[in-house]
Amino acid sequence: MIEEFNNRILLIDDNEAIHNDFKKALTENPELDYVEIQNLEKALTGKTDKKTDNLSFPKYEIHSAYQGKEALEIVVDALNKGLPYALAFVDIRMPPGWDGIETIEKIWGVDKNIQTVICTAHSDYSWEEIYRRLGHSDRLLILKKPFDLIEIRLLALNLTKKWILNAQAKLKEEDLQEMVTQKTKELSFSLSLTEATLESTADGIIVIDKKNKIVNFNRKFLEIWDISEEQLEQDDALKLSNFMSKKLEMPKSISLDSHKMIEEKNFDIYQDLKLKTNKFIEQYIKLQYHNQKIVGIVYNFRDITHRKRLEEELAKQATYDNLTGLPNRILLADRIQHAILLAKRNKTYLAILFIDLNSFKLINDSFGHHIGDELLKIFSHRLKNSLRESDTVGRMNNNVVTDTVSRLGGDEFVVVLTTPNKDKDSILPAIQRLNEELIQPYHLASHELTVTLSMGISFFPEDGFDPITLIKNADSAMYRAKELKQTFFEFYQKEMSEKTLARLELENDLRQALVKKELFLNYQPLFDLNKKRIASLEVLMRWAHPTLGLIPPTTFIPLAESSNMIGPISDWLLRTACSQNKAWQDQGLPPIPISVNVSVTQFKYKNFVENLEQILTESGLEPKYLELEFTENIIMSDNMDTTLKMEKLKKLGVAIDIDDFGTGYSSLNYINQFPIDKIKIDRSFINSLSNNEESKTIVQAIMMIAKSLNMCVVAEGVETISQLNILRAISMDEVQGFYLSLPLSVEDTTKILNKNWEWPISS
């Protein structure tokens, strides 16, 4: 805190009389002279003290010392008390002790602020001498004897004021200094923070300014690119860029030329780079701004090799059959789709051959799976090779070409042939030849085995326009071949799909079922593994047939679809389920969503969404408590209608789940084109979890991708504790299955909801 005044003055003189003179000058009758001083000051400086109206002269606190040493002690004492002197008048000669100059030296040694006036009558020391010994200082003035009263007053007044001003200035300087120190500290902290952040990220980062100079980089950058620090010493980004691009499989895919980047607006984009070493790096480029001006570019690199490998593995596992290495059903759908496009363009035709080994089960059972597997491998080998041969034959022979040989699983294979000939019989030579090749004996571990096969054939465009229909029709033709046992193959014929009598009867019964109230619903809980409670309930339809007993939905739902009853039945189901869920909520039970299975046929109804919306309104159930389960095929029927309806559903607030994931013809590539909330991994993958590493890899890979798309993942069909444990270990979101709960009646569901969502498993 700065004093307003410092009016303490120290007189240092060996002569008592001088002390009295000074005291008189500074205290006695000062009013009158103060006016003089003011006038004088005005004359000298052009300014007057602001307090001109208040004409009282300052009251000085005056102390005396008679020797230099004594004076020093008084000064030190005053400093210690925090009451320093503003001014000292010092006599130049003070025998026997220090003279004035020495005294001042000593006093300045302890007090850096004290103003001093040296009083001299003699020519003991010249001014030059004084300045030589004390140096030029703005704290020193010389007063010549004899003293003038006004001069003393003027000195006292001005020098005490000067002391205050000096002190204030100094404090300001200290403030400033303090501020600078603080700012420097802050800055170095934020710098170190930036540095630490830069080093702690998993990304390799390099910053390049607009002149293509390297401004900053982190260790990870060097590591990812395998670059030594010395290489960056030149800070030349273009040189570095050259060096880096040499490491790439496609050298042109990288440029650190900030100039060019800014010009071409080449930033805010992700790009995958592949190194010659097979490493994958994701590159992200961002502009660096300072005061709203572009000052450089930040290049971000992330090693994504691991992720890429998993994706590749998944893609391979998801699209190729492990045993034979042939494309599986997923890839097959793609290939057929592709073949259809080509056929349309080239005005050619396709034949889809569905091939099944007769009594393969017998071979498996009699010789073991090992022999069965070997047989399938050789079989698929022959299939591929003979088709290549028949290609050649085919080329001479109406140009039959194969695009694809695929294994659907088990002992089922599909072959796609392209033919320029509309005449079905034109492919006969090719398939005859194929058959001959395939029924040659198989030599396996000292056994000689022979097989026969059944083949069904459908044609594009005559028997279908899409992969699913074409495969399905070739399949039913194959069944007919098996049944009729006339030849090894049958062409698809429309009549084949005609319903059997039994089927017709059942269909009739189903029409009555709604009216007779034979349909009812079960609810199967899905459990949230994190929260250890029920996440939702899946609605499953049941039919209690009066004579045949409980008919499984897998039987009656396809029937309902083909006989146009799926509409009214699903309406009834939706109404019942939504009202039931609302009723549970009204009873004060914890609100949870129900999920309802939606068949493709049902979804295709024109006003599907509007109808659903109305049912929701009528039941009073909030849309967020309803989820719809679709199979993958819905996604594959990729058309405007599907997309539009999905968007409408999303807008309505209903969640969308993909059911039986992994069994259909879709792939994860398609999934992200739709607003999907949940993926239910089919129970076939869960089934084999405990004894098949591959299943685990696939499940994990599906999870990884689904999670990266923000989707919830459910494992279906959990039947054992060991499956559950594996799923827990790999952080599955939700589980459903007999191990946790069977599908339950309304009464039993109410009971478990009443139990406050209790986790059914003790651990």
Burial category of 585 from C-beta neighbours within 10 Å (exposed 0-12, middle 13-18, buried 19 and up): middle
- The enclosing H or E element of 454 equals strand 453-460
How would DSSP label each residue in 162-189?
HHHHHHHHHHHHHHHHHHHHHHHHHHHH
Q: Which of 674, 683, 727, 735 binds ligand C2E (CB under 6 A)?
A: 683
Q: Does 571 contact ligand C2E by CB under 6 A?
A: no
553 binds ligand C2E (CB under 6 A): yes
Q: Residue 431 or residue 513: which is nearer to ligand C2E going by CB?
A: 513
Q: Does 717 bind ligand C2E (CB under 6 A)?
A: yes
Residue 412 near residue 355, CB atoms below 8 Å: yes
Q: Which of residues 541, 655, 715, 724 is near ligand C2E by CB under 6 A?
A: 541
Can you tell me which residue has the tokens 């849309």? 623
Question: Is the CB of 9 or the CB of 655 nearer to Ca ion?
Answer: 655
Nearest to 534 by CA among 763, 762, 755, 722: 755
Pairing of strands 204-209, 115-120: unpaired
Q: Residue 641: helix, strand or coil by DSSP? A: helix
**454/666 with CB nearer Ca ion:** 666
Which stretches of 355-411 are DSSP H helices?
Answer: 360-367, 369-396
Looking at the Cβ atoms of 406 and 597, the one nearer to Ca ion is: 597
Question: Which contacts qualify for 188-197: CB closer than 8 Å, 24 or more apart?
Answer: none
**Of the listed pieces 253-261, 582-590, 592-600, 754-762, which binds ligand C2E according to CB under 6 A?**
592-600
Q: Is residue 84 within the footprint of ligand C2E (CB under 6 A)?
A: no
Candidate residues 364, 454, 597, 642; the one interacting with Ca ion per rule CB under 5 A: 597
Alpha carbon of 117 to those of 36, 141, 142, 158: distances in Å?
A: 21, 5, 5, 12
For 24, phi then psi, to 5°, come to -60, -50
Q: Which of 78, 514, 540, 704 binds ligand C2E (CB under 6 A)?
A: 540
What SS3 class is residue 6?
coil
Residues between 626 and 645 with contacts to ligand C2E, criterion CB under 6 A: 629
317 within 8 A of 400, measured Cβ to Cβ: no
Residue 689 is a binding residue for ligand C2E (CB under 6 A): no
Stretch near ligand C2E under the rule CB under 6 A, chosen from 29-37, 286-294, 446-454, 711-719 = 711-719
454 Cβ partners below 8 Å, 6+ apart?
355, 356, 358, 478, 479, 481, 482, 488, 489
**Cβ neighbours around 745 below 10 Å, total:** 14
Q: What is the enclosing helix (H) or strand (E) of 115?
A: strand 115-120
Closest contact distance (angstroms) between CB of 476 and Ca ion is: 24
Q: Which stretch binds Ca ion (CB under 5 A): 354-362, 421-429, 716-724, 733-741?
A: 716-724
Burial of 747 (C-beta count, 10 Å sphere; 0-12/13-18/19+): exposed
Binding test (CB under 6 A) with ligand C2E, winner from 599, 642, 695, 749: 599
> Cβ 720 to ligand C2E, closest distance in Å?
9
* Residue 536 DSSP SS3: strand
Q: Applying CB under 6 A, does 94 fall inside the site for ligand C2E?
A: no
CB of 720 closer than 8 Å to CB of 690: yes
Residues linked to residue 12 through DSSP beta bridges, in sequence order: 65, 90
Pattern 615-644, Ca ion, x by CB under 5 A = --------------x---------------
The least CB distance from residue 687 to ligand C2E, in Å, is 8
Per DSSP, the residues of 193-254 read HHHHHHHHSSSEEEEEETTSBEEEE-HHHHHHHT--GGGGTT-BHHHHHHHHHTTBSSGGG-
Q: How far is the CB of 341 from ligand C2E (least distance, A)?
A: 31
Shortest gap between Cβ of 604 and ligand C2E (angstroms)?
Answer: 13
> Among residues 127, 189, 243, 738, which is the contact residue for ligand C2E, using CB under 6 A?
738
Which residues, listed in sequence order, are joined to residue 405 by a DSSP beta bridge? 415
Find the binder of ligand C2E among 554, 639, 710, 762 (CB under 6 A). 554
Q: Contact with ligand C2E (CB under 6 A): which of 25, 430, 557, 726?
A: 557
Q: Which stretch binds ligand C2E (CB under 6 A): 116-124, 357-365, 474-482, 539-547?
A: 539-547
Q: Is 86 in the site for ligand C2E (CB under 6 A)?
A: no
Start-to-end C-alpha separation, the chain: 69
The single residue among 12, 134, 635, 718 that binds ligand C2E, judged by CB under 6 A, is: 718
* Piece of the chain touching ligand C2E by CB under 6 A; list 153-161, 220-228, 550-558, 691-699: 550-558
Is 734 among the residues that bind Ca ion (CB under 5 A)?
no
CB of 321 to ligand C2E, least distance (A): 23
Interface map 205-234 toward ligand C2E (x if CB under 6 A)? ------------------------------
∠ CA 541-546-552, nearest 5°, is 30
Comparison of 75 and 681: residue with beta carbon closer to Ca ion: 681
**Strand, coil or helix: 662:** coil
Q: Tokens in use for 504?
A: 């017709």
743 binds, among ligand C2E, Ca ion, none (CB under 5 to 8 A by kind): ligand C2E
| 3 state DSSP class of 42 | helix
Q: Which of residues 646-665 bind Ca ion (CB under 5 A)?
A: 659-660
Minimum CB separation of residue 589 from Ca ion in Å reads 23
Residue with nearest beta carbon to ligand C2E: 737
Output 455 or 557, the one with its CB closest to ligand C2E.
557
473 binds, among Ca ion, ligand C2E, none (CB under 5 to 8 A by kind): none
Instruction: Identify the CA nearest to 598 among candidates 641, 549, 660.
Output: 660
Q: How far is the CB of 736 from Ca ion (least distance, A)?
A: 8
Size of the site for ligand C2E (CB under 6 A): 23
Which conformational region is residue 573 in: left (phi greater than 0), alpha (psi within -120 to 50 degrees), or beta? alpha
Binding of ligand C2E by 664 (CB under 6 A): no
Q: Which does 30 bind (CB under 5 to 8 A by kind): ligand C2E, Ca ion, none?
A: none
CB of 198 to ligand C2E, least distance (A): 49
Decide if residue 737 touches ligand C2E (CB under 6 A): yes
Q: Is the peptide bond before 96 cis (omega within 30 degrees of 0)?
A: yes
Residue ranges binding Ca ion (CB under 5 A): 597, 629, 659-660, 716
Query: Where along the sequence are the contacts to ligand C2E (CB under 6 A)?
Result: 524, 539-541, 552-554, 557, 573, 597-599, 629, 659-660, 683, 717-719, 736-738, 743
